[in-house]
Structure 1
C-alpha cells in the first residue's frame, strides 16, 4: 500500500506537461504540530498526533479536471477520518479554515444540502487508517480551481455524511494542512 501511494504521488508530481501545468501543481508535505504562524500542518486534537505526517498533491488536468492525493502516516490505527478541501488557511482555531470549497457555492451556509455538499461539487478525501496508522486516498473532480482558490485540507473526526440536512458534515475538525490549490 505504501509503495502504491508513493508511486501515485510521484506520478502526479512528474506528469508530463501534456497532462498538467506544473506551475499549477499544489503540494505540501509536513508534520502535524501545534498551531504557530509558520506551521504547515496543525493538529487540534490528539486523534491526529503531533509528529504525524501528511502529504497533499493537487494536479489539474488538461481535460479540465483536478486530482487530489492525500497520504497520511502516524495517525491512530484502524480509524476512520473524514477529509475535505477548505477555502481558507489553517488558523489557531479549527473553524479558521472556513467552509468546504465548492465548485458551485451553496447560497445557504453552512452547506448541508446534498445538491451542493457532495463529492462531485467538493473534494472529499475520507480515509481509514491501517494497523500502522497509514492511509491514502485520491479524489478526482471534473473541474479546476480558477480565480477562487482553496487553501487547506481539513481532517475530521468521522467519514462524511451524505443525507439531507447533514450532507458534507464529518464531525469535529481534528487537524488542518495548508495547501495553496
Structure 2
C-alpha cells in the first residue's frame, strides 16, 4: 500500500476509531480491504459489521438497498464511510440506519483538490480510486446531519464527524 495511505490509516484510527465505545454497533460502508474492521476487531470492538459491493465484506451488496440486505433501521451507533461518499450519495441511507444521536464518520477528497489526489495516485503515493468521483461534496454542505467536527488534512482531504439529531425524522428532498 502507498506510504501516504499508511500514514492516513494511522491518523484515522486515532481521530475517528479510538474514541468509539468498544461495544458500539458499527457499520462500515465500503469496507474494501477491511483494514477498519481488522483494526476494530483486534482492538476488542464487538459490534463491527462491514459492507461492500464485493466479498470479503460481512454484508455484500449495495447499501442503498439496506432493507434487502437484512439491515434494520436505526440499529447502528456509528457508521464509517472512508473514501466512499465521493462515489455514491448515501446520506439518506446512513441517516435511516443510525440511531438518534448516532455518529457518521466520513473522509473524502476536498472537491476542488481532487485533481491533486489524481496526481498522487498516478505517481503511486496514494491508493488508486475504485470508481469515478461523481459525487464530490464539500462536508460543510452535508444534508440531514449536524457537523460535530470538520477538518481539512494537508489541504487535500476532508474529515468529518457528524451526528444524527435526536428525534429526527427527515428525508432528502426528491
TM beyond 0.5: no
Bigger helix share: 2
The two structures have a TM-score, normalised by structure 2, of 0.29
Higher relative contact order (CA 8 A, sep 6+): 1
